[in-house]
Amino acid sequence: MQFKFKIQPYQTEAARAVTDVFAGQPNSGASLYLRDLGRTVGGDGTAALPGFETQVQASEGYANAPIALGSATLLENIHKVQRRNLIVESLSLATGPAPVNLDVEMETGTGKTYVYTKTMLELNRLYGWTKFIIVVPSVAIREGVYKSLKNTEQHFFEQYGKAIRYFVYNSARLGDIDRFSASSDINVMVINMQAFNASMKEGGRSKEARIMYSERDEFASRRPIDVIAANNPIVILDEPQKMGGKATQAGIARFRPIACLNYSATHRDRHDAVYVLDALDAFNQRLVKRIEVKGFELKNMRGTDGYLYLQDIKISKNRPPQAVIEFKKLNASGSISKRAQRFFEQDDIYPASGELEAYRDGFIVSEIVPDSDAQLGYVKFLNGIELCRGDVYGDSSGRDMRRVQIRETIKSHLEKEEALFARGIKCLSLFFIDEVAKYRVYDDDGEEGLGEYGRIFEEEYARAIDEYGRGQQNLDASLDAGLGEVRRRYLEWLRGIDVHTTHKGYFSIDKKGHSVNSKLKRGSDESDDESAYDLILKDKERLLSFDEPTRFIFSHSALREGWDNPNVFQICTLKHSDSETGKRQEVGRGLRLCVNRDGERQDLEALGEQEVQRVNTLTVIASESYSDFTKALQEDTKSALRERPKAVTEEFLKGFVVQADEEKTYALTQEDAHDVYFALVQHGLIDREGVPTQKFKESGLTSVTDDDLPEHLYAYRKDIEALVKSVYDEHALDDYIRNGNEPKVRENPLNANFARAEFQELWNKINSKHSYTVDFDDDELRAKAIDRINRELFVAKASYVMTTAAQRSTQTRENLERGESFGDATRRDYEVGEDVSGVTYDLLGEVATAARITRRSAAVILKGIAPVKFRMFRDNPEEFIAKVSRCILAEKATMVVDHITYHKLDERYDSTIFAERMPENVGRALETSRCIQDYVFWDSEGERDFARDLDSAEGKVAVYAKLPRSFKIPTPVGNYAPDWAIAFEKGSVRHVFFVAETKGSMDSLTLRDIERGKIACARKLFNEFSDEDVRYDVVHSYEDLLTVIQGTE
């Protein structure tokens, strides 16, 4: 099968965007020059030998003619192209390794290689340029470019009547460079970054650098760099963001290019953009597949496996290396969650985990070794465990999830395959794994066998076929049922495929012919293994044939770049989700529109608006939760979007805050916006699309007289001019950016209110610390706790939740901003298999400590509960311990209030507790006048409103404080921190001093037993045992507070 190509308008426009930059350049053909053939003996062309006379030989060469256009003309041409393609206009020519440096931005899967191949042919047709160098970042892309040039030869020859002569640079074949220079045809040299970076560093120690920059005997005593540079090539950079920074740019400059053309979906360094087809454009124009995501989240996680994931190793000049390790943490609720944290050597995972038993023995970091000499860094623990960066240890639940992922990939594949078969489209599914041994293993004799994932696949495939009604017997029955011809052919084809031949692995190959893990490029998660890419590309077309039984492909994640097969409809990543790989990169291998058995692209023209996305849907079976994956994918997409030019409209003008001086600001109204817009149109300062004209760029608002604007806007002309200018100049408003709502809080010290007599008297009454004693019947507590546990204890089993949703049919920037580019989601639950763990628990000790009871009481309670409840410990030990403890505490809370006695201690709180660390969210800062600090940091809207009312209570409230969390009252069910201390004006109420707790609801049924117990203890302390004239109560609002005060008078 051969791919068929057709002329598509967007690709033609992308090529035209580049060629129009050089409009006015004469087509003088290739520039003839005398080519240096090097030093030879006599005239026979043999190399000189020591002691013999030599002579320098020369011959004709053909270089690119220099650009004849001046900078002003080039910039004006660029502006014309940018206006046509709705791109923000460049202020000046971009700097770079060439006189002209252009960016073409095209979404992955839309044919960048095709476009720049067509561009080369157009540049030759229009201006006579013939010498081009394509620089790529990896072997995978290099091989893909070479294959594309080969596949499109006939297609482009039919259009232009010319063929491109192309070759891949190899320092062992320098004769290719001579042929490149001597030919007057269109010539292209492809060089990958690995060879490029080594070769371009003059004085470098590598073999490639020595060859590129030294006079070589085998190259007639010439330097290859000089021979290449004599051609004044046009350099094309494919994925320049992956090629390093200034060093690469300096290396490219040594080629002496007349122009650099940068092609990428995500440019890092911006030049003069001439064409943009971003992710939104490509999707809305139906040029790429629609994405459906199936995400997985583990619910009710267990903490019995000692899970660890070495995410990264951070190095710094000022501190020792730190390991970023993800582990499981026990939360206060008893639930388990994963969190990542930095650890130094000698740090212990056990306390960081909330003292999970699985981490008790030896999980202390003993050694951290950073990456070096292209080797991954690693971390050792005292118990002997060693993790390389990216490794996972103890992920028992992860094995269950991988099986579910494989199952869902097969199911998704089968659900699509029959419909695709009817259209002559072969359906492929792609699994990326991080270790070859998980798919393929070898015994001592070198015999090949299936690894864990290979075995799981074959088990799940057989099961899926049966469940889908396509087992051997069902297939036979279906074929006898008089089905339609298409369905009959599909079922016959499916019946003929053996489970062992329908999946295949593509990996790097060692000298024994065995599959091995791909070696990563330093600082990357990709590989430059040529043997693997040769195999992938060799089989690219064959995999699209229905004669080839392979439908499910396993490959190393480092080989991801090599897979751009258009008929990949499922991508499943069977590895830990990491931050190294962007989500757009993860899905990018499957975005290309599919082809049928004849190699014809199944695009909008072929299928129509209604069918193109239904047929072209890529399902991503993610290795993380749906929300995490889609959030990251949308963030990736949003960050890659290039800013489009704004237009001046009335809506654009409305609401802009203008400022005449430091004191006077004003927001433009709808009527103001209408008047300003009318004046701009009337004076020809914007065109019909709202784009500022050349007249505005030259003279601003000078032609707008005072008579053209309302009088109250006279003082704001400068700001209005800057706003209009911001449409094409992103820095125009740099001096005008204001946010009046931005809090200016830097610190929050005690102010003069703290020293007021009213507050000092209140503070002296409440700042004593207390202890308590409590006496109640242990047997009664035990009996009530047993009864409550039997009634209320339920421990959730670990399960996976699969959430599925697809992209909306139309994508907008606003949807991306709001995180709403995916439609409604559906969910399905999977139970996780029973966990078999060697971790032992001190169950009595854990419950006794958490519930604040004796081990004896804990033993009596645990023996007394129903067996069905006790068996829940096995399902989730941590949650069982936490919930049992809470049941006991809740019963204590209802019993202790009548039996507690408080005792005042000599120790007191001092004023330093008010200097606790500032909250990170300073947006929750309320400026006050009666509080003892300048700002109140509120935790809820109720607290904010309460503080506002206290502040405005003229004649009632004298001074108040938001009490810090370190101001605690001890209770048998945990420490308690009230919210407010309030001093009223004397004479305004009976009880001048008040300690308050603000709750959103006063309904005691909505408060938990433990919380009610704490509040009851606080009432006992302040209202019964305290000899001070201080009242305490729980209130909902300031009005509620006054009601409570009045009720005590």
pLDDT at res. 211: 77
With pLDDT > 90 as the criterion, what percentage of the chain qualifies?
Answer: 36
Better pLDDT: 124 or 138: 124
What 3-state class would DSSP assign to 60?
strand
Parallel, antiparallel, or unpaired: how do β-strands 428-433 and 392-393 relate? unpaired
Distances (CA, A) of 25 to 18, 242, 260, 576, 917: 13, 32, 17, 53, 65
Give me the mean pLDDT over the 825-830 stretch.
82
Q: 493-528, pLDDT tens digit by residue?
A: 998 899 999 999 877 665 555 555 555 444 444 544
pLDDT score, position 929: 92
Our separate counts of H helices and E strands in the chain read 36, 39
Sole residue written with tokens 């190095």: 315
Strand partners, 745: none
**Residue pLDDT, tens place only, 932-980:** 998 888 878 888 899 999 999 888 999 999 998 889 999 888 889 999 9
pLDDT classification of 46: cutoffs 50, 70, 90: very low
Mean pLDDT of all residues in the chain? 83
What pLDDT, on the 0 to 100 scale, is given for residue 426? 95
For residue 236, which amino acid is it?
Answer: I
For residue 188, name the pLDDT band (cuts at 50, 70, 90): very high
Radius of gyration of the chain (CA): 37
Per-residue pLDDT band at 202 (split at 50, 70, 90):
low
Q: Which pLDDT tens digit goes with each residue over 253-301?
A: 889 999 999 999 888 888 999 999 998 899 999 999 999 999 887 776 6
**64 touches 233 (CB < 8 A):** yes
Give the pLDDT score at 907.
94
E strand spans, 193-299:
234-238, 259-264, 272-277, 290-299
Of residues 387, 363, 364, the one with CA closest to residue 377: 387
* Per-residue pLDDT, 480: 53
Asked whether residue 999 carries a pLDDT value surpassing 60, the answer given is yes
* Average pLDDT of span 479-503: 81
* Alpha carbons 54 and 40: distance in angstroms, whole number: 6
How long a stretch of residues is the chain? 1049
The C-alpha angle with vertex 164 and arms to 159 and 168, in degrees rounded to 5, equals: 145
pLDDT band at 570 (very low <50, low <70, confident <90, very high): very high
- Cα–chain center distance at 37: 52
Buried/exposed 750-768: b ≥16 CB within 10 Å, e otherwise: beebbebebbeebbebbee
pLDDT of residue 740: 37
At CA 268, angle to CA 265 and CA 270, rounded to 5?
95
Q: How far apart are the first and last CA of the chain?
A: 94
If one compares 97 and 1008, the residue with the highest pLDDT of the two is: 97
Separation of alpha carbons 436 and 515, rounded Å: 7
Nearest to 551 by CA among 601, 494, 603: 494
Percent of the chain predicted with pLDDT > 70: 83
Q: Is the dihedral of CA 65, 69, 75, 80 positive or negative?
A: negative
DSSP 8-state assignment for residue 557: G
- pLDDT exceeds 80 at position 479: no
pLDDT at residue 771 tops 80: yes
pLDDT band at 51 (very low <50, low <70, confident <90, very high): very low
In order, the DSSP letters of 747-777 are: ---B-GGGGSHHHHHHHHHH-EEEEEEE---
Rounded Cα distance between 727 and 647, Å, is 6
* Per-residue pLDDT, 778: 86
Sign of CA dihedral 692, 698, 699, 704: negative
Lowest mean pLDDT among 402-416, 526-540, 600-614, 1027-1041: 526-540
Mean pLDDT confidence for 308-333: 87
How far apart are the C-alpha atoms of 616 and 292, rounded to whole Å? 10
SS3 labels along 155-217: HHHHHHCCCCEEEECCCCCCHHHHHHHHCCCCEEEEEEHHHHHHHHCCCCCCHHHHHHHCCEH
Closest CA to 804 of 625, 1035, 1006: 625
Question: Mean pLDDT, to the nearest integer, of 582-601?
Answer: 87
Section 570-588 average pLDDT? 75
Least confident of 587-596, 617-626, 891-900: 891-900
* Pairing outcome for strands 131-136 and 234-238: parallel
pLDDT-derived band at 466, boundaries 50, 70, 90: confident
Q: Per-residue pLDDT averaged across 904-915, rounded?
A: 89
The confidence score (pLDDT) of residue 230 equals 94
Strands in 252-364 per DSSP E: 259-264, 272-277, 290-299, 308-314, 322-330, 336-343
Q: Are 774 and 801 in contact (CB under 8 A)?
A: no
Q: How far is CA 923 from CA 104, 920, 963, in A?
A: 41, 9, 19
Distances (CA, A) of 375 to 138, 388, 974: 19, 10, 50
Greatest extent of the chain over all pairs of C-alpha atoms, in Å: 122
Residue 71: count of CB within 10 angstroms of its CB: 11
Least confident of 41-55, 112-126, 945-959, 1033-1047: 41-55
Of the pLDDT bands very low, low, confident and very high (cuts 50, 70, 90), residue 441 is: confident
- Do 947 and 962 form a contact (C-beta atoms < 8 A)? yes
The dihedral over CA atoms of 999, 1001, 1005, 1007, expressed in degrees to the nearest 10, equals -20
Q: Where are the beta strands (DSSP E) in 955-1036?
A: 957-962, 980-984, 993-998, 1030-1035
Task: Name 739's Cβ contacts closer than 8 Å, sequence gap at least 6.
Answer: none
At residue 341 the predicted structure's pLDDT band, cuts being 50, 70 and 90, is: very high
Determine the pLDDT at residue 886.
86
Which of 184-188, 336-340, 502-506, 658-662 shows the lowest mean pLDDT across its residues?
658-662
- Give the per-residue pLDDT at 1043: 82
Q: Which of 28-42, 47-61, 83-97, 711-725 shows the lowest mean pLDDT across its residues?
A: 47-61
pLDDT average, residue stretch 416-431: 94
What is the sign, positive or negative, of the torsion defined by CA atoms of 745, 746, 752, 758? positive
pLDDT exceeds cutoff 50 at 547 = yes
Only one residue has tokens 């006695």, namely: 901
Residue 988 has pLDDT above 90, yes or no: no
Q: What pLDDT shows up at residue 524?
A: 47
